[in-house]
Structure 1
Amino acid sequence: MTSLPVSAAADAPGDILSSARRLLSVYEKAGYARTHPGILQPAEPFLDLSGEDIRARIFLTAGRSGEELCLRPDFTIPVSRDYLASPAAGAPQGYCYLGPVFRDRGALPGEFLQAGIESFGRADKAAADAETLALGLAATAHFGHHTPEIRIGDVGLFTALVAALDLAPAWKRRLVKDFNRKASLAQDLERLTLSSGNGKADYQGVLAALAGSDPKAAHALVTDLLSIAGISAVGGRSVGEIADRFLEQATLGASATLPRETRALVERFLSINGNPVDAAAAMRTLAKEGKLALDAALDLFESRNAQMKTGGIDLSRVAFSCAFGRGMDYYTGFVFELTDGKANEPLVAGGRYDDLLTRLGSPMPIPAIGFSVWIERLSDLDTGGAA
């Protein structure tokens, strides 16, 4: 495969494309350099890191040497990879972009335009979060929608809550991973609360034999067994990933149950919502009553509130929920969506992903945050069409 048509941009009406390009100039003036990541990308990072929602909708292909490739389903991972390969890697740097992305959306076109920004290396996380939200609001205002509904959450708060609980490490990882999948999280809490021994799998004997063994040896054994059985990949997961999941089940199966009062504490946390100021007070009360070490996460949350207020964002318009997530496995902190209040689909959405660049190969942690703009959705609002 030598080239691919950029038809989403080419087929877009001239006024829509011109307006999108003017939005990019706004971001360039704010200090975000224009970048043009390739349309054809290695599939592995998206399959490993994006989450089930994106994984199920990727358009996959293969290179001449058999390598698995895909049409980029979003810009975050491609821009992150290009940043890590650049001389700027590790230093503060912001990028903006405009172009087509590709996802299987059923009856809707699988190719559509997105714009957005990605910001790397800023240590002032609260200020970077507030600036990112302000630039997201600039996108809706650019298309004539000045009062979108603002929904925010914070994956870091839930991670801090789980870290403070008396749970096996495997269960902590599982709860954080399933945070963006509400049905999965509810199932996890139910399973933890039930007495051990219920619903044992048919392969419980194998899990019991592996439990407590050397992790590397157990992983090698399971990988060998899968290979002997002729299993190479299932649902986009490699043999290694399947082995990891299998061994995780062994640990979870041997873990203690979750006291009902602890489950009630988690569910009380997840029920907190409202404007960010009132929510912060409610979380402080919960942390004090539950004797939970949430001070650092709450300090960052309140500092972000102050930065948003200083930046001119009316916090009374902001709807915060402790249970709000965005379905991407790589989010680690602040997340947000801007909507028109009618459709469920976001107009602008993004969040903080501080662990992603390490998982992409960075030798050191690099703070990162960004968002995507759905150009057609905003253009439909601008022209009076359906969102």
Structure 2
Amino acid sequence: LELEIIEFEKIIEARHITRSIENRAEELTAQSKRRKEVISSSAELSNLALRLYGLFLKFGHARNEKDLEYVQNFFESNLPDVDLGRLTFFEKIYYYQAHVWYSHIVQNFSQNFRYSSKWVDLFHAYPKMREADPTLYLLGMNNLMTSCFLTGYESKLKSTLEELERFRQAHEKSLDINSEVLVFQYYYTGLINLHFTQGTFSEGIQIIPKLDELLNQYSRYLDQHRILVFYYKMACLFFGSGDNTRALDYLNLIINLKAGSLGEDIQCFARFLHLIAHYELGNYALLEYLVKSVYRFLAKMEDLNQVQSEVLKFLRQTLHKAPQDLRSSFIELRERLQPLAEDETEKRSFLYLDILSWLDSKIEDRPVQDVIREKYLARRR
């Protein structure tokens, strides 16, 4: 609209000798040029952010060197050369947004936190923009909370979650349905992640009945990827609390959901956790078939990494081992997996499931929840 007004003024100046302002024609030309630059830059940056988000929805985190190279080349070749100091509010937001999605895909979570913080801080600097575009503000809050979870910044996750709740309470009557659904998604995602971080799984499962109710209430507004993510997180809460039967209920919902290529990461790791839950329940007769099935699925998805391969091999081999030999097998598996947690192309497996804590629980013969809780408390000292 602003560009249209400027162009209209140019037409007037071209057709009439107004002499109202000296050099007005030059000013209008400069303004028009600047607005076109802003529109072009905004389109490039927002398109890049959107395309990166689409890549994440389809494939998840980079799975190997090939993925990393592809995403890096894609990002660098499509990122426009900009002067941050001259960018408008929305140009900056789109610039930060593109960096957030890029860093998320390549698992550079410290960079992800930095750009998520810049995104939210910009809204704090211009509070009226939260009212003008609550959706973009809420997206920034969600990405900030996710980066806090992935970097272990628990206090910031908690304070951001509280800020989100204050925003909801202050705008409860004015939020449209889109913003209302986003607040629901982001609040419960952040809350579950906080339970994961603190190792309070038994406490976390208390929110699931209400979450199920809200998922049904908002189902027509939610895409399948978001539903898959919630099901997986709910399954992880039950798994962490020791209720493997209920975990399987939600994992089966993911496995049976016809999602096509959407959420391939979630579909793969749901099957992975599905195996471990059956192992915990002692369903060994079923496991032999399931291991082969998961092997085939991961191979089809071209997603069989070293972590998964090691665990699948372990499960297949231990089915026939004597109970007294299992502890040493768990120790050996942990020793093989520990170095992979720092490997750029393998560490994504540990984002979806804290496999090392599960192994510790088997080695030490105590609940996985206690192991994770103890690690959390040790970090706080």
TM-score norm. by structure 1 comes to: 0.24
Q: Which of structures 1 and 2 has the bigger CA Rg?
A: 2
* Greater share of helix: 2
* Greater share of strand: 1
Larger RCO, structure (CA 8 Å, separation 6 or more):
1
